[in-house]
């Protein structure tokens, strides 16, 4: 996943880790959540959209692994296709960890090197920065996913979690493009908990989260705060707690401002294209599909 489209905010901040602060608001009843997500996938993919198979860009990270495990449970391993889409600078560990998921679940997979496609364009650009190339890689991967979707008659599934989405820490029209995403309302720390519940291998759960777009890249270095602390601030901020209360949980005003600023500056990435409204049936404004699970 590319996270390079987010403006840099205090990148010099150290990663601040938890010291046993309360995480209760993030706790989930994981069997119930799992059953709900399986029902959601079957309803959205099969009943509403008419697909029997799904397709996932399997990066070797915990988010795509959890989506793949859920898909295998929802549709059966025979109806899940995993795509490994390495770039020449990708970590070999990413391919290895993706293979662990593929072998454990017994799903069909393909490996397609995206280097030639990315470099074919990047080589014609005078100032192709690492961040621009990272976004390009993410969009090329999604282009391949949708093409393979036609080949296999399989619907692409998204893998982005709620923390990334709230921070705008992804490539717009890249890794957010799939039409169905089971993880979009789960914070990163909740995805880790669900991964353990589903039996995702420890190597994937325990490794440092990284988009693997730039060698040595780390999510938490980019963000300037650990996911554990960010999620606790987010869950209280979204629930309407004042900064003073959140500070009382052991967080600094600097951390709180960092989190709130990222959320406030990336609202545009969480919406579809802004359209002019000239009727009472404008799509996504007044014409909304009710969903009841």
Query: Over the stretch 65-92, which tens digit does the pLDDT of each residue have?
Result: 999 999 999 999 999 999 999 999 999 9
Residue 290 lies in a domain: no
Residue 277 lies in a domain: no
Residue written as token pair 């601040």: 16
pLDDT band at 289 (very low <50, low <70, confident <90, very high): low
Give the structural domain span for 198: 24-270
What average pLDDT does this structure show over 142-158?
98
Residue % of the chain over a pLDDT of 70: 90
Mean per-residue pLDDT of the chain: 89
Residue 278 lies in a domain: no
pLDDT band at 13 (very low <50, low <70, confident <90, very high): very low
The answer on pLDDT for 24 being more than 80 is no
Residue 209 lies in a domain: yes
pLDDT band at 45 (very low <50, low <70, confident <90, very high): very high
Q: From the CA atom positions of the chain, what is the Rg in Å?
A: 19
The answer on pLDDT for 43 being more than 60 is yes
For residue 233, the model assigns a pLDDT of 96
Residue 6 lies in a domain: no
d(C-alpha 269, C-alpha 248), whole Å: 31
For residue 283, the model assigns a pLDDT of 76
* CATH code at position 96: 3.40.50.620
Q: Which of 220, 237, 231, 251 is nearest to 163 (CA)?
A: 231
Largest Cα separation within the chain, whole Å, is 54
pLDDT band at 23 (very low <50, low <70, confident <90, very high): low
d(C-alpha 202, C-alpha 159), whole Å: 19
Residue 12 lies in a domain: no
Domain tally, the chain: 1
H/E run at residue 245: helix 243-248
pLDDT band at 275 (very low <50, low <70, confident <90, very high): confident
The token pair at 275 is: 């359209």
User: Distances from the Cα of 114 to the Cαs of 86, 96, 136, 145, in angstroms?
Assistant: 6, 17, 10, 12
The model carries a pTM of 0.88
Question: Coil, helix or strand for 15?
Answer: coil
Residue written as token pair 């840099």: 8
Tens digits of per-residue pLDDT, 243-269? 999 999 999 999 999 999 999 999 988
Residue 169 lies in a domain: yes
Nearby residues of 148 by Cβ (< 8 Å), 6 or more positions away: 55, 81, 83, 110, 154
Task: List 84's β-bridge partners, or say none.
Answer: 111
d(C-alpha 270, C-alpha 231), whole Å: 18
What average pLDDT does this structure show over 182-211?
95
The answer on pLDDT for 220 being more than 60 is yes
53-57 β-sheet, strand order: 108-111, 80-84, 53-57, 154-156
d(C-alpha 101, C-alpha 25), whole Å: 30
Residue 281 lies in a domain: no
């Amino acid at each position: 996943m590319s996270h390079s489209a987010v403006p840099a905010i205090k990148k010099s901040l150290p990663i601040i880790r938890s010291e046993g602060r309360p995480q209760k608001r993030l706790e989930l009843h994981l069997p119930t959540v799992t059953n709900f997500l399986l029902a959601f996938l079957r309803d959205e993919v099969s009943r509403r959209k008419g697909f029997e198979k799904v397709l996932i860009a399997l990066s070797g990270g915990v988010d795509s692994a959890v989506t793949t495990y859920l898909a295998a449970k929802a549709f059966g391993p025979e109806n899940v296709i995993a795509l490994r889409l390495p770039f020449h600078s990708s970590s070999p560990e990413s391919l290895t960890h993706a293979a662990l998921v593929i072998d454990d679940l017994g799903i069909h997979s393909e490996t397609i090197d995206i280097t030639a496609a990315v470099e074919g364009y990047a080589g014609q650009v005078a100032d192709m920065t690492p961040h621009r190339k990272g976004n390009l890689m993410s969009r090329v991967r999604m282009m391949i996913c949708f093409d393979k979707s036609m080949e296999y008659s399989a619907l692409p599934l998204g893998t982005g979690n709620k923390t990334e989405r709230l921070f705008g820490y992804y490539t717009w029209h890249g890794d957010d493009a799939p039409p169905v995403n089971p993880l979009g309302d789960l914070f990163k720390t909740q995805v880790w908990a669900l991964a353990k519940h589903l039996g995702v291998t420890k190597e994937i759960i325990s490794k440092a989260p990284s988009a693997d777009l730039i060698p040595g890249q780390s999510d938490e270095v980019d963000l300037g705060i650990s996911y554990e602390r960010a999620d606790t601030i987010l869950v209280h901020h979204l629930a309407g707690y004042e900064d003073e209360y959140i500070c009382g949980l052991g967080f600094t005003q600097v951390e709180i401002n960092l989190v709130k600023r990222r959320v406030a500056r990336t609202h545009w990435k969480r919406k579809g294209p802004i359209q002019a409204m000239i009727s009472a049936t404008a799509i996504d404004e007044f014409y909304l599909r009710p969903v009841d699970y």
